[in-house]
């Protein structure tokens, strides 16, 4: 590690202040507002006093972690992408965030209070699902560092600029070279897929199952059993989509290496929609006397076909961006996006400011 990259000459005060505001709003202001609001609201309810007291105990934790994360977030935003200094502080923010959420469980105190006053809810399972998304955040700083390291060294004149790669002799299967990929974009898209296909659906199933089991009705057992089956199906399919989505985001638009994983994700997503839709039929047996059946196969097939249209979108994307990507020298999406932003800024600065033309005066002879 080069400790010279922690020099304050690399610090951009404006970027650091923006980062402080964003981190403060996300980890201090909003959590503190919700903690104060819910603690006051729950304390007014006779059956929720214990939970209200537990929630009020979170206030000092929110203040301490929120202030510390905001302070570290200043240096995360102030130092440039691709530097060891930004990598260090960004990783620190990710780790502090995990400790922050873990501390809010209050060593099992919140779990006991919820079980006693509401229903049996496995908060540890919810925390483990949160950890899935949090682990992505711990890898993002390293991925950002890898993607932007050479570009930052170029700007600091420590290495020579890379020459654009020629398109001569480039065949479609050459698109799968790792040098074209962006680790940061891959992890970001993989995290989004995990949230959409794994974390959020499983959280909904856990909450539904906890609520249904609290009713203590025999006829609910079949429904909770189907929820258990859907839980594991969505887990396995969601993890597959999450893994393949990494390569979809890793490779740039206009490459076959992006198009093929994207097409596979679309196919699995179609099966995912069909599975969570219970194959178009919803059946409930009430005491083996009354059977309630709802058939919505047609609607579900429309949803599956609508999901499949994304395959057409990615085919159009390949055709649209391929020529631009090849002529640009096979650049990464992450670096290409920043270059376009800087180019726009330079063009705005280079435009001469038009001075207002003074009104013509009539001169009397």
Residue 215 in domain: yes
Contact 51, 114 (CB under 8 A): yes
111 and 199 belong to one structural domain? no
CA dihedral 220, 222, 227, 228 (to 10 degrees): 120
336 and 213 belong to one structural domain? yes
pLDDT at 203 over 70: yes
Residue 168 in domain: no
110 and 193 belong to one structural domain? no
- For tokens 């509401």, the residue is 118
Residue 364 in domain: no
Residue 210 in domain: yes
Structural domains of the chain, count? 2
45 and 188 belong to one structural domain? no
Res 4: pLDDT: 77
pLDDT at 361 over 60: no
Res 69: pLDDT: 95
d(CA 232, CA 13): 48
Domain that holds residue 96: 1-119
101 and 241 belong to one structural domain? no
89 and 184 belong to one structural domain? no
55-99 per-position pLDDT tens digit: 788 889 999 999 999 999 999 999 999 899 999 999 999 999 999
d(CA 59, CA 53): 11
194 and 321 belong to one structural domain? yes
297 and 211 belong to one structural domain? yes
pLDDT at 337 over 50: no
245-283 per-position pLDDT tens digit: 999 999 999 899 999 999 999 999 999 888 887 676 666
DSSP letter string over 16-37? HHHHHHHHHIIIIIHHHHHHHH
Residue 167 in domain: no
Token digits for 143? Answer: 């991925």
Res 353: pLDDT: 45
188 and 328 belong to one structural domain? yes
DSSP-based three-state secondary structure for 294: strand
Res 356: pLDDT: 46
Residue 47 in domain: yes
183 and 101 belong to one structural domain? no
Residue 148 in domain: no
Q: What is the pTM of this model?
A: 0.80
277-300 per-position pLDDT tens digit: 767 666 666 555 556 566 677 888
Res 307: pLDDT: 92
- Across the range 321-342, mean pLDDT stands at 69
- Across the range 155-171, mean pLDDT stands at 75
100 and 179 belong to one structural domain? no
User: What is the percent of the chain with per-residue pLDDT over 90, rounded to a whole number?
Assistant: 37
345 or 324: which leads in pLDDT: 324
Sign of the CA dihedral 276, 278, 283, 286? negative
pLDDT at 20 over 80: yes
71 or 212: which leads in pLDDT: 71
Residue 150 in domain: no
> What's the whole-number average pLDDT of the chain?
81
102 and 178 belong to one structural domain? no
169 Rama sector, left if φ>0, alpha if ψ -120 to 50, beta otherwise? left
């Amino acid at each position: 590690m080069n400790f010279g990259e922690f020099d304050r000459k690399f610090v951009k005060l404006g970027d650091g202040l923006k980062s402080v505001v964003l981190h403060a709003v996300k980890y201090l202001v909003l959590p503190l507002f919700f903690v104060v609001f819910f603690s006051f609201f729950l304390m007014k309810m006779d059956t929720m006093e214990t939970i209200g007291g537990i929630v009020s105990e979170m206030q000092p934790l929110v203040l301490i972690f929120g202030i510390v994360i905001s302070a570290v977030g200043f240096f995360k935003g102030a130092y440039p992408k691709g530097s060891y200094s930004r990598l260090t502080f960004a990783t620190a923010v990710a780790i502090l965030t995990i400790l922050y959420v873990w501390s809010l469980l209050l060593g099992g105190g919140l779990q006991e209070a919820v079980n006693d006053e509401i229903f049996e809810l496995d908060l540890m399972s919810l925390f483990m699902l949160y950890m899935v998304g949090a682990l992505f955040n711990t890898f993002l700083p390293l991925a950002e560092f890898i993607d932007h390291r050479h570009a930052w060294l170029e700007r600091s004149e420590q290495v020579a600029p890379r020459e654009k790669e020629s398109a001569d002799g480039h065949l479609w299967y050459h698109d799968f070279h790792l040098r074209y990929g962006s680790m940061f974009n891959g992890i970001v898209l993989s995290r989004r897929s995990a949230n959409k296909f794994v974390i959020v659906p499983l959280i909904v199933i856990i909450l539904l199952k906890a609520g249904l089991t609290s009713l203590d009705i025999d006829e609910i057992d079949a429904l909770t059993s189907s929820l258990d089956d859907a839980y594991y199906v969505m887990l396995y399919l969601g993890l597959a989509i999450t893994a393949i989505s990494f390569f979809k985001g890793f490779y740039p638009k206009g490459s076959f290496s992006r198009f093929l994983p994207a097409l596979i994700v679309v196919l699995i997503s179609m099966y995912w929609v069909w599975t969570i839709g219970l194959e178009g039929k919803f059946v409930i047996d009430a005491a083996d006397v009354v059977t309630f059946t709802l058939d919505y196969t047609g609607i579900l097939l429309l949803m599956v076909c609508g999901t499949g249209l994304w395959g057409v979108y990615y085919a159009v994307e390949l055709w649209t961006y391929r020529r631009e990507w090849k002529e640009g020298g096979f650049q990464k999406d992450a670096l290409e996006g920043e270059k376009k932003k800087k180019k726009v800024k330079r063009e705005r600065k280079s435009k001469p400011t038009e001075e207002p033309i003074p009104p013509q005066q009539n001169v009397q002879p």
